[in-house]
């Protein structure tokens, strides 16, 4: 179903994010027939391009990042016809009058801030000053949203000077992933799980986001951030919220975000001995270690973090949430595992072993869900129990139509045009998440802690294994 006609201005339209994610996502939605004829995409950046030069940049980006036959077809020319460009200086006067002149009445106006956060305030102020935004206009802002509570608050205040909260779309692209939305469908669309979804039946929950890549070319930024700021405070926190929140009364932006906020506010401070930070080491001279990659030989920034969190509320009191994320690990894998308690009594005797159901929700790769159930081992060997997976890989279960999930950005950008904020972070959520993370960061900084080394291609530092072993538990395998 096509969305309403729109003018989407991409500030930073020549940058890496625009070329790699935003423009390819828009192109795919165009190919899917979701973009109405009147839709227009206006690149706006500092580079002195003409519209034709920018169209060539867009063509090249689509060929590189979408590739295949799609990008060579007539569709590409149809898409490029909707592209325009204005040279704009976020900190100066150049280009603003021209941009104002291009905006059309009767269209949704959306402004994507795909530039450094230091420019957000300048952009907001100039959009306002030049009368480019209407009351229905939307702005989209990327991560990182602040570096701590104080900077996030300052950013929220700056944006609030010119835009209402209902106009601000803070992207966390994890929320645009199909399986993440499925998490809500599974929890609230089935009778099966929700009655068991509490500390009475759930032993613990694990959230793992493992990457095989290192810091690559982002070393300078990453070394100031680390895994806590880059992944834990935002992406893993959002997953935690969706898995732990109370059922909202309806699937409505503020109803959902109110429940997520309550989860964050109910999080206890994490004790220092429940945090493990790691830093990857060089592997056989083939890949550089973290410090070399980050260009900081004395860096004490973590490329890995694991922690044990507690949510102090009626539903979750006593159920630990183990969260971990890191770079240069053995496999690329994002999984949430809900580990249920053992049956209270085994009628099959001690030799049958203890067995627990585990519901695993795989975000990547092979998006899908597995429920580990216990059955009788086949054969005449008596009543021996064995665990088998009830496996639903979406690609197999839903066929080619449902099996090729759209990129998170496709879903999120279309939601901006539709005016649906459900999958975007609200300002108070972001602030609450920083309020949880800040004391941990301040603590390890004050104690002068150095991250534990771990081998590239491993599952992370051994201390993270101990974090669970101490509790008589173990991480589920990353592979």
Binding residue numbers for substrate:
173, 177, 211, 230, 327
Binding segment (CB under 6 A) for ligand NAD, from list 31-39, 55-63, 110-118, 358-366: 110-118
- Burial category of 477 from C-beta neighbours within 10 Å (exposed 0-12, middle 13-18, buried 19 and up): exposed
Is the Cβ of residue 23 or residue 115 nearer to ligand NAD in the bound state?
A: 115
Maximum Cα–Cα distance for the chain, whole Å? Answer: 83
For 149, the token pair is 């509570």
Which residue in 49, 162, 204, 235 is the catalytic one? Answer: 235
- Catalytic, 204? Answer no
Coil, strand or helix at 182: helix
- Residue 90 touches ligand NAD, criterion: CB under 6 A: yes
Sign of CA dihedral 134, 138, 142, 147: positive
Which one of residues 56, 72, 91, 247 is an interface residue with ligand NAD (CB under 6 A)? 91
- Residue 129 touches ligand NAD, criterion: CB under 6 A: no
Token match 């027939």: residue? 33
Which one of residues 24, 57, 117, 235 is an interface residue with ligand NAD (CB under 6 A)? 117
- Burial category of 371 from C-beta neighbours within 10 Å (exposed 0-12, middle 13-18, buried 19 and up): middle
DSSP letter string, 266-324:
HBPPPPGGGEEEEEEE-BTTTB--HHHHHT-TT----SEEEEEE-B-STTTTT--EEEE
Is the Cβ of residue 47 or residue 313 nearer to ligand NAD in the bound state?
A: 47
Which candidate, 258, 263, 264, 254, places its Cα nearest to that of 420? 254
Binding segment (CB under 6 A) for ligand NAD, from list 8-16, 231-239, 279-287, 297-305: 8-16
CB of 149 to ligand NAD, least distance (A): 19
Residues ≥6 apart with Cβ < 8 Å to 147: 224, 225, 229
Which one of residues 16, 53, 268, 351 is an interface residue with ligand NAD (CB under 6 A)? 16
Is the Cβ of residue 173 or residue 187 nearer to ligand NAD in the bound state?
A: 173
Binding segment (CB under 6 A) for ligand NAD, from list 114-122, 250-258, 382-390, 410-418: 114-122
Which candidate, 261, 280, 251, 203, places its Cα nearest to that of 427? 261
Which candidate, 255, 230, 218, places its Cα nearest to that of 172? 230
Q: What share of the chain is helix, strand, coil (3-state, %, to 5)?
A: 40, 20, 35
- Residue 376 touches ligand NAD, criterion: CB under 6 A: no
C-beta nearest to ligand NAD: residue? 15
CB of 379 to ligand NAD, least distance (A): 52
Is the Cβ of residue 13 or residue 176 nearer to ligand NAD in the bound state?
A: 13
Is the Cβ of residue 46 or residue 310 nearer to ligand NAD in the bound state?
A: 46
Which one of residues 114, 181, 303, 325 is an interface residue with ligand NAD (CB under 6 A)? 114
Count of residues near ligand NAD by CB under 6 A: 23
Residues ≥6 apart with Cβ < 8 Å to 83: 40, 41, 42, 43, 51, 54, 55, 58
Which candidate, 294, 299, 142, 286, places its Cα nearest to that of 217? 294
Is the Cβ of residue 30 or residue 112 nearer to ligand NAD in the bound state?
A: 112
Q: Scanning residues 283 to 302, which ones bind ligand NAD (CB under 6 A)? A: none
Token match 């879903």: residue? 411
- Residue 121 touches ligand NAD, criterion: CB under 6 A: no
What string marks each residue from 130 to 169 as x (binds ligand NAD by CB under 6 A) or -? ------------xxx-------------------------
Binding segment (CB under 6 A) for ligand NAD, from list 109-117, 125-133, 298-306, 456-464: 109-117
CA–CA–CA angle 386, 308, 432 (5° rounding): 130
CB of 319 to ligand NAD, least distance (A): 32
Bind-site residues: 12-19, 46, 143, 173, 177, 211, 230, 327
- What is the radius of gyration, based on Cα positions, of the chain? 24
CB of 35 to ligand NAD, least distance (A): 22
Is the Cβ of residue 12 or residue 405 nearer to ligand NAD in the bound state?
A: 12
Residues of this chain that interact with ligand NAD (CB under 6 A) are 11-18, 45-47, 88-91, 114-117, 119, 142-144
State the catalytic residues. Answer: 235
């Amino acid at each position: 179903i096509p969305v309403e006609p729109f003018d989407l201005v991409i500030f930073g339209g020549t940058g890496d994010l625009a070329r790699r994610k935003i423009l390819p996502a828009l192109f795919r939605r165009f190919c899917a027939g979701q973009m109405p004829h009147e839709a227009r995409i206006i690149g706006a950046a500092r580079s002195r391009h003409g519209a034709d030069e920018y169209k060539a940049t867009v063509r090249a980006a689509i060929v590189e990042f979408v590739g295949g036959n799609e990008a060579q077809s007539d569709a590409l020319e149809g898409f490029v016809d909707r592209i325009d460009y204005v040279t704009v200086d976020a900190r100066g006067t150049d280009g603003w009058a021209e941009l104002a002149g291009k905006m059309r009445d009767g269209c949704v106006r959306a402004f994507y801030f795909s530039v450094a956060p230091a420019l957000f305030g300048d952009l907001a102020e100039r959009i306002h000053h030049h009368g480019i935004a209407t009351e229905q206009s939307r702005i989209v802002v990327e991560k990182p949203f602040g570096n701590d509570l104080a900077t996030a608050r300052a950013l929220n205040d700056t944006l609030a000077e010119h835009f209402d909260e209902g106009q601000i779309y803070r992207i966390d692209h994890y929320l645009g992933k199909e399986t993440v939305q499925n998490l809500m469908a599974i929890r609230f669309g089935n009778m099966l799980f929700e009655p068991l979804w509490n500390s009475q039946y759930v032993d613990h929950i694990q959230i793992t986001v493992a990457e095989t890549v290192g810091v690559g070319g982002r070393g300078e930024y990453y070394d100031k951030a680390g895994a806590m700021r880059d992944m834990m405070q935002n992406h893993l926190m959002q997953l935690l919220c969706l898995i732990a929140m109370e059922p909202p009364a309806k699937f409505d932006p503020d109803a959902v975000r109110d429940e997520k906020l309550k989860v964050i506010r109910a999080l206890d401070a994490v004790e220092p001995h429940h945090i493990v930070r790691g830093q990857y080491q060089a592997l056989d001279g083939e890949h550089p270690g973290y410090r070399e990659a980050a260009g900081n030989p004395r860096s004490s920034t973590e490329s890995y973090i694991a922690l044990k969190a507690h949510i102090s509320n009626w539903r979750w009191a006593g159920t630990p949430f183990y969260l971990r994320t890191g770079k240069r690990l053995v496999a690329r894998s994002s999984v949430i595992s809900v580990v249920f308690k053992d049956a209270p009594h085994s009628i099959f005797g001690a030799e049958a072993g203890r067995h627990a159901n585990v519901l695993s929700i795989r975000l990547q790769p092979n998006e899908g869900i597995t429920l580990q159930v216990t059955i009788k081992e086949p054969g005449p060997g008596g009543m021996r129990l064995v665990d088998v997976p009830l496996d639903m890989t979406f690609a197999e279960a839903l066929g080619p139509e449902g099996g090729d999930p759209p990129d998170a950005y496709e879903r999120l950008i279309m939601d901006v045009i539709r005016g649906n904020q459900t999958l975007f972070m609200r300002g108070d959520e972001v602030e609450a998440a920083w309020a949880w993370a800040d004391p941990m960061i301040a603590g390890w900084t004050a104690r002068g802690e150095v991250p534990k080394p771990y081998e590239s291609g491993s599952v992370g530092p051994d201390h993270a294994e101990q974090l669970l072993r101490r509790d008589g538990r173990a991480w589920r395998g990353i592979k």
